[in-house]
Amino acid sequence: MARQKYAMHPGEKIVYKTSCVRHGVWGGYTDALIVTNQSVIWEKYGVLNQFRGFERFDASHIHQVIVGKASNGGKQLELYMGERIETFTLQSADETELNVLAIAINDQSNPGAAVHDMNYYQNLLSEAKASGRLPTLRKKARHIQETLGVAMGAALGSALDIAGDATKNLLDSGDFRVTGVINAVVKAAGQKKAEGTAVEDKVPKAIGSEKISVKEQMEMLQNLKELLDAGVVTQEEFQQKKREILGS
């Protein structure tokens, strides 16, 4: 593919890209799609691979992305922007990659998008192709992020620090049992420690001023105990956070 001939916006990063793409119904599979944390970029190329320009679809203007049915019966990526619909198909006709593309684009409008990068979606695609279990893998990935969001909020502070690495570790291992989740967390915490960020620096001084329900307290304590058993937090940190949870 020819060298990119346009500038990215400040703070913009690529989270997924694919080539051999066709826009609409007619034409060849000569284009490329780039998904960033801010937009979807359609790169246009000629039959001799010459760059013919690009079009940027701002993420804030994309209301929905789905994998739909093309007029020829195949699958296509559909971007809905108000009354405007843009469609793209892959030369490979790979429905799994189309689904990952849709997931990547839709993710950018979610609060937890910062934990996802190109490696995350590449791993998701590779695992899905190898196992044919994209829905299951995606469900498991979301589950660990939700679980870690509570656990890290109770024990380690910002979920963005560790949840993304833990999710990647979980997908890499393919072990979705409780022990697999704990191992993914421990490995992610170890990676952060190796980077020089102490676990105690992530432990918030207080859970917060808002009252939480007894059920939420029990869930936080359970998650905190699992982190203690896994060696992610110390006994002292566990007791400190336990007091804060029960006192909230």
Tens-digit pLDDT string for the chain (248 aa): 445 678 899 999 999 999 999 999 888 999 999 999 999 999 999 988 899 999 999 998 999 999 999 888 899 999 999 889 999 999 999 998 998 999 899 888 776 666 678 888 888 888 777 776 665 555 555 555 555 454 444 444 444 455 566 666 666 666 655 556 666 666 776 666 555 544 444 444 334 444 567 777 777 777 777 777 766 667 887 788 777 777 75
Q: Are residues 64 and 169 in the same domain?
A: no
Q: Are residues 50 and 86 in the same domain?
A: yes
- Name the β-bridge partners of 67: 77
Answer with the one of 52, 84, 109 that is the final residue of a domain.
Answer: 109
Helix (H, G, I), strand (E, B) or coil at 37: coil
Residues 124 and 155 in one domain: yes
Q: How many CA atoms lie within 13 A of 152 on its CB side?
A: 24
Judge if 228 and 167 occupy the same domain. yes
My answer on whether 103 and 130 are in the same domain is no
Contact 12, 39 (CB under 8 A): yes
CATH classification of the domain holding 27: 2.30.29.30
> What is the amino acid identity at position 38?
Q
Residues in Cβ contact with 189 at an 8 Å cutoff, skipping those fewer than 6 apart: 156, 162, 199, 232
Range of the domain at 232: 110-248
pTM above 0.85, yes or no: no
Q: Tell me, what's the pLDDT at 201?
A: 46
Looking at the structure, do residues 146 and 204 belong to the same domain, yes or no?
A: yes
Q: Is residue 34 located within the same domain as residue 70?
A: yes
Mark whether 119 and 229 lie in a shared domain: yes
Looking at 109, 130, 148, the residue that finishes a domain is 109
Q: Is 222 in a helix, a strand, or coil?
A: helix
**Tokens 């994209």 -> residue:** 134
| Three-class secondary structure of residue 68 per DSSP | strand
Residues 5 and 100 both lie in one domain: yes
Quick check: 66 and 78 in contact, CB under 8 A? yes
Structurally, the chain folds into a number of domains equal to 2
Do residues 50 and 15 both lie within one domain?
yes
Q: Which of 90, 109, 128 is the last residue of a domain?
A: 109
- Helices then strands, counting H and E runs in the chain, come out as 8, 7
Structure tokens at 80: 């809905």
- pLDDT of 222 reads 76
Looking at the fold, whether 11 and 76 belong to one and the same domain comes out as: yes
Question: CA-CA distance, 98 to 89, in Å (whole number)?
Answer: 8
Please list, in sequence order, all residues whose beta carbon lies within 8 angstroms of the beta carbon of residue 102, skipping any fewer than 6 positions away: 65, 66, 67, 77
- 219 shares its domain with 119: yes
